Structure 1
Amino acid sequence: MPSTPIDAHARTDIDPFGLGVASGDPSGDGFVLWTRLIGRGLAPLDAKAVSVRYEVAADRGFRTIVRRGVLPARPEAAHSVHVEVGGLPSGRAFWYRFHALGATSPIGRTTTVPQTSARLRIAVTSCQHWEQARFGAYRDMIAQQPDLVLQLGDYIYEQTYPDQAKVRSFGTSEPLDLGGYRQRHALYKTDPDLQAAHRACPWVVTWDDHEVLNDYANLANRTGEPAAMFATRRAAAYQAYFEHMPIRPSIWHGASTPRLYRAVDWGDLASLSVLDTRQYRSPSPCAPAGIARNVRLDGCAEAAASTGTIMGATQERWLDQRLASEHRPWTLIGQQVFFAPLALDSAGRATFSDQWDGYTANRSRVLQGLSRSTVTSPLVLSGDVHSFWVNDLNDSGGRPVAGEIVTSALAAASPPRGASATL
Structure 2
Amino acid sequence: MVSRRALLGRTALALAASRFLSPVTAIAVQPQPYADGDPFMLGVASGDPRPDGFVLWTRPLGLSGTATVGVEIADDDGFRRIVRSGSVTASPARGHAVHVEPVDLDPARTYFYRFHLDGATSPIGRTATIDPQATRMRLALAACQHWEHGWFSAYRDMVAQEINVLLHVGDYIYEKSFGTGPDVRSFGAPDPFTLDEYRVRHALYRTDPDLQAATAAFPIIATWDDHEVENDYASLQGSVTEDPAAFVARRAAAYQAWFEHMPISPRRLTPHGAADIVRRFEWGALASLSVLDCRQFRTSQPCGRGGQVIADCAEVFDPVATMLGLEQEAWLRDRLANERTRWSLIGQATMVSRLPLPGGGDARWSDIWDGYAASRDRLIAALRQPAVRNAVLLGGDVHSFWANDIPSDPERMEGPVVASEIVTSCLASRSGPEELFTGIQGRNPQVRFHDNDNAGYTLLDIDAERIDGRFRAVRDLTDPNSASFDLRRFAIEDRAPGVRI
TM-score, scaled relative to structure 1:
0.94
d(CA) in 2 for partners of 1:385, 1:286:
21
Aligned match of 1:226: 243
Give the match for residue 363 of structure 2.
350
Moved more, 24-33 or 248-257: 248-257
Mark the CA change 1:342 to 1:83 in structure 2 (over 3 Å): closer, same or farther: same
- Structure 2 residue identity aligned to 1:223: V
| Structure 1: gaps (5+ residues) | 40-44
Rate the CA distance shift 1:52–1:192 in 2: closer, same or farther, 3 A.
same
**1:19-44 CA deviation, whole Å, 9 max, x = no partner?**
000000000100000000012xxxxx
Distance in 2 of aligned mates of 1:76 and 1:254: 13
Stretch moving more, 362-371 or 411-420: 411-420
Paired residues in the alignment total 412
Counterpart of 2:60 (choices 37, 42, 51) is: 37
CA RMSD of aligned residues (A): 1.8
Aligned to 2:294: 277
Compared with structure 1, are the counterparts of its residues 321 and 256 closer, same or farther at alpha carbon in structure 2 (3 Å cutoff)? Answer: farther
* Structure 1 residues 323-345: Cα deviation after superposition (integer angstroms, max 9, x where no partner): 10001000000000111100003
Aligned to 2:96: 79
Q: 1:256 to 1:138 in 2, by over 3 A?
A: closer
Matched, 1:374 2:397: no
Structure 2: runs of 5 or more not aligned: 1-21, 441-501
Match of 1:19 among 42, 57, 68: 42
Aligned counterparts of 1:395 and 1:318: Cα–Cα separation in 2 = 21
Secondary structure of the 1:367 match is: helix
Secondary structure at the counterpart of residue 395 of structure 1: strand
Moved more, 125-134 or 346-355: 346-355
Judge conservation of contact 1:219–1:230 (CA < 8 Å) in 2: yes
Cα distance in 1 for partners of 2:179, 2:141 equals 28
- TM-score (structure 2 length as normaliser): 0.80
For residues 254 and 161 of structure 1, do their structure 2 counterparts lie closer, same or farther at Cα, with a shift above 3 Å needed? closer
Q: Which residue identity is paired with 2:386?
A: S
User: Could you tell me how far 1:229 is from its partner in structure 2?
Assistant: 1.7
* Cα shift readout 1:36-85 (whole Å, capped 9, x = no counterpart): 0012xxxxx3x111110000101111111111111110111111100011
Are 1:167 and 2:211 matched, yes or no? no
| Aligned partners of 1:153 and 1:383 also within 8 Å | yes
1:15 Cα deviation from its structure 2 partner: 0.3
SS of structure 2 residue aligned to 1:38: coil
Task: Give the drift of 1:178.
Answer: 0.5
Q: Report percent identity of matched pairs.
A: 50
Distance 2:313 2:86 in 1: 56
Distance 1:254 1:381, change over 3 A: farther
The one-character-per-residue Cα deviations of 1:194-249 (angstroms, maximum 9, x if unpaired) are 00000111000111000000111112222362222210000000000000000112
Task: Indicate which of 398, 417, 421 corresponds to 2:415.
Answer: 398
Find the residue that maps to 1:357 and give its secondary structure.
helix
CA distance in 2, matches of 1:362, 1:309: 5
- Distance in 2, matches of 1:323 and 1:254, equals 29
Distance 1:195 1:234, change over 3 A: same
Is 1:422 the equivalent of 2:439? yes
Alignment counterpart, residue 208 of structure 1, candidates 218, 221, 225: 225
Structure 1 counterpart of 2:65, from 48, 53, 56: 48
Q: Give SS of 1:398's match.
A: strand
Superposed, 1:48-197 pairs within 5 Å as 48-161=65-178, 163-197=180-214
Contact 2:42 2:60 in 1 (8 A): yes
| Matched-pair contact (CA < 8 Å) for 1:341–1:357 | yes
Number of the residue aligned with 2:327: 314
1:26 and 1:54 mapped to 2: Cα distance?
A: 18
3-state SS of 1:419 partner: helix
| Structure 2 residue aligned with 1:334 | 347
2:275 maps to what in 1? Answer: 258
* 1:28 and 1:267 in contact (8 A); partners too: no
Residue 421 of structure 1 and its aligned partner are, at CA, apart by 5.2
CA contact (8 A) 1:12 1:101 kept: no
Shift of 1:260: 0.9
Whose Rg is larger?
A: 2
Q: Deviations over 1:281-304 (max 9, x none)?
A: 1121111xxx3x210011111011
- Asked if 2 retains the 8 angstrom alpha-carbon contact of 1:82 and 1:247, the reply is yes
Cα drift, residue 267 of structure 1: 2.1
After superposition, the Cα gap between the structure-2 partners of 1:365 and 1:105, relative to the gap in structure 1 and judged at 3 Å, is same
1:248 paired to 2:249: no
1:294 aligned residue: 307
Q: How many angstroms apart in 2 are the aligned matches of 1:129 and 1:318?
A: 32
Give me the whole-angstrom Cα distance separating, in 1, the residues matched to 2:204 and 2:362: 42
- Distance in 2 between residues matched to 1:230 and 1:298, nearest whole Å: 28
- The one-letter code sitting in structure 2 at the alignment partner of 1:215 is D
Partner of 2:377: 364
Residue 346 of structure 1 deviates from its aligned partner by 5.5
TM superposition shift of 1:314? 1.0
> CA shift at 1:254, angstroms?
8.7
User: AA paired with 2:147?
Assistant: W
- Going from structure 1 to structure 2, the CA distance change for 1:115 and 1:192 (only over 3 Å counts) comes to same
1:120-163 deviation digits (Å, cap 9, x = unpaired)? 11100000000000001111121111100011100000001262
Cα distance in 1 for residues equivalent to 2:400 and 2:361: 20
Asked if the contact 1:331/1:375 (under 8 Å) is kept, the reply is: yes
Q: Counterpart of 2:41 in structure 1: which amino acid?
A: G
- SS of 1:63's partner is coil
Secondary structure, aligned partner of 1:279:
coil
Aligned residue type for 1:349: D
Partner AA of 2:371 in structure 1: G
What letter matches 1:104 in structure 2?
Answer: T
